Amino acid sequence: MSHHFTPACDFRRPPDQPWRVLAFYGDRLVVGQQDGEVVLPAPRQLAAVAPQLQLGLGRICDHAYCGWLLAHPPELSGGLRLEGLRTLYGHLEEPEFQLAGSALQLLNWAADNRRCGRCGNAMTLEEGERALRCATCNNTVYPRISPAIIVAVTSGRRLLLARSGRFPGRRMFSVIAGYVEAGETLEDCVRREVREEVGLEVRRIRYFGSQAWPFSGSLMVGFTAEHAGGEIRVDEDEILEAGWFPPERLPEIPGKISIARQLIDWFVDQHR
């Protein structure tokens, strides 16, 4: 599938036929199998499933898509199953995988904003706009993202990698990342996060790329930077261990779904 996604301008508008369903229970997606390929179900295959929330999402090629949020584990048949979104990377067609990430983020946003944060009354989906609005006080809430930086810090043929406590029982290392604070530029955030987490100064900060990360509602903005001074001192809060690694002796690193891995692969390619 080589076609791009065209978003709907109205979450309330039901999709045109034929359409497919992105049905989530937690961060697991209902999928099926057809001719050995992972596919998204049609509505008739989910006739017994009652979503607590529906959003019209848009179109890819000749198919329209609807997002469903399920309150309870669905009873599935006909070869349908629940699959973690991370495990579907490389199995769903790329535009559908990207749309699945967007759908998960939008469904969580709508579910988290059922009540107005200003007056406490019910929010409703706007007509003709991708937004929620309170009819009582007119407060309008749009889908929001949390910007975060992620940076590959190098020193010659060495890459800075650090380990947090988020993977119990595993020594998974990755590059430095953190959320952007109010009033902070992306470059300022790079400098602060590296300084806070490992005690180093950096220079020559360059933009690398970006990735929407639906699991935390983030937009990850990737950078490369060079070590400018200081010795590694981990904060022992977010970071438990950090070190410099040459390309031929990397520890366990993230899978290819993430921009963290793209940054690490970039470093390896530079010194292949």
Residues 167 and 108 in one domain: no
Compute the average pLDDT of residues 135-142: 96
Residues 161 and 50 in one domain: no
Q: How far is 1 from 60, CA to CA, in rounded Å?
A: 9
Task: Output the CA torsion sign for 22, 23, 27, 33.
Answer: negative
Residues 191 and 97 in one domain: no
Residues 84 and 160 in one domain: no
- Supply the pLDDT for residue 190: 98
Q: Residue 61 domain-assigned?
A: yes
Domain boundary among 112, 131, 159: 112
* Number of separate domains in the chain: 2
Q: Residue 132 domain-assigned?
A: no
Confidence band of 1 (pLDDT split at 50, 70, 90): very low
Strand partners, 148: 179, 220
Q: Residue 135 domain-assigned?
A: no
This prediction has a pTM of 0.84
Terminal C-alpha separation, the chain: 33
Q: Residue 95 domain-assigned?
A: yes
Q: Residue 117 domain-assigned?
A: no
* 85, 42 Cβ separation under 8 angstroms: no
Confidence band of 141 (pLDDT split at 50, 70, 90): very high
3-state secondary structure of 29: strand
C-alpha torsion 162→147→134→127, nearest 10 = -120
Residues 105 and 179 in one domain: no
Residue numbers of the domain that contains 253 = 146-270
Confidence band of 136 (pLDDT split at 50, 70, 90): very high
Domain boundary among 112, 134, 156: 112
Tokens at residue 167, please?
A: 């993977």
Residues 67 and 155 in one domain: no
Residues 50 and 164 in one domain: no
- Cα–Cα distances (Å) from 232 to 157, 169, 171, 187, 229, in that order, read 17, 23, 18, 20, 10
3-state secondary structure of 108: helix
- Supply the pLDDT for residue 168: 65
Q: Is pLDDT at 188 greater than 70 in this prediction? A: yes
Q: How far is 193 from 184, CA to CA, in rounded Å?
A: 12
Provide the residue count of the chain. 272
Q: Residue 131 domain-assigned?
A: no
For residue 96, give the nearest of 185, 32, 10 by alpha carbon: 32
Residues 266 and 153 in one domain: yes
For residue 14, give the nearest of 43, 40, 41 by alpha carbon: 43
Strand partners, 83: 29
Confidence band of 2 (pLDDT split at 50, 70, 90): very low
Residues 168 and 246 in one domain: yes
For residue 6, give the nearest of 52, 62, 51, 48 by alpha carbon: 62
Domain boundary among 112, 130, 161: 112
Q: Residue 122 domain-assigned?
A: no
Omega of the bond prior to 247 within 30 degrees of 0, cis? no
* 202, 228 Cβ separation under 8 angstroms: yes
Task: Output the CA torsion sign for 150, 7, 55, 66.
Answer: negative
pLDDT digits (tens, 9 = 90+) for 52-100: 999 999 888 878 999 999 999 998 988 999 999 888 988 888 889 989 9
Average pLDDT, the chain: 91
Which has more pLDDT, 116 or 78? Answer: 116
- Supply the pLDDT for residue 128: 85
* 4, 95 Cβ separation under 8 angstroms: yes
Confidence band of 48 (pLDDT split at 50, 70, 90): confident
CATH number at residue 234: 3.90.79.10
Residues 157 and 211 in one domain: yes
Q: Residue 45 domain-assigned?
A: yes
Residues 154 and 246 in one domain: yes
Residues 179 and 251 in one domain: yes
